[in-house]
Amino acid sequence: MNIGEAVKALQIKYPSASISRIRFLEKEGLINIKRSSGGTRKFTNKDIEKISKIIDLQENKFYSLKAIKNNPSLLKSTKTKSIKINDYSIRDILKQSGLATSQYDDLVSFGFEINKEIYNTEDLNRMKAWSYFYSLGLEPKNFSVLKSINERSNDFVEFINSLLPDDKEVERSLIIENYAILIRSYLLKDIS
């Protein structure tokens, strides 16, 4: 596959993947992509796996490129030490999700996101999802149905929550998790 196809394959899991990022990894000697006689990069599945591992080490395990380059065993090991980060700045969120500032601003103006000082892992995962939909050519205006679902879901979750004693925050989390499972299963039931 060529570099554009490689980026699309990587962006499914890592929205922050880009042509310039791959070229930078190659320039730094972290990857060595074979080229055709005309000079076009030809990516194999192994190349994609290696790039995925590098991005995972950077974004999810918080290793620097220098650390990855100086410790090639990190790319082979399945036992890498993970640093747990719970608080992110807007800069971190945008970088790791692959969202542009203008895209984030659109999400805020449509009421899907709010500006905050500190973001968490759930925020990051949601931003990655938004980034994925942007990569498909969709924008916040295409998600008006999401606002309606959200409003109705909030009312439903609050109703169930009202049936529980006040000190049951764990139950509230379980309600939301199980409700999300139901929504996902109903969305997917007619697709297969």
CB 129 within 8 A of CB 96: no
Question: What global pTM score does this model have?
Answer: 0.53
SS3 content of the chain, % helix, strand, coil (to 5): 60, 0, 35
What's the Cα-to-Cα distance from 122 to each of 11, 26, 77, 87, rounded to whole Å?
A: 19, 32, 27, 10
CA distance 131 to 152: 25
CA distance 145 to 174: 24
pLDDT in tens, the chain (192 residues): 999 999 999 988 888 899 999 999 999 999 999 999 998 999 999 999 999 999 988 888 878 888 888 888 888 876 655 555 678 889 888 988 889 999 999 999 988 899 999 998 889 888 988 988 888 888 888 888 877 877 787 787 778 777 776 666 667 777 777 877 887 787 777 665
Please tell me the predicted confidence (pLDDT) of residue 192: 53
CA distance 165 to 117: 32
Please tell me the predicted confidence (pLDDT) of residue 170: 66
Q: What is the three-class DSSP state of 83?
A: coil
Which residue type, as a one-letter code, is found at position 107?
L
Find residue 119's DSSP bridge partners. Answer: 88
Please tell me the predicted confidence (pLDDT) of residue 92: 87
Q: DSSP class of residue 152?
A: H
Please tell me the predicted confidence (pLDDT) of residue 168: 64
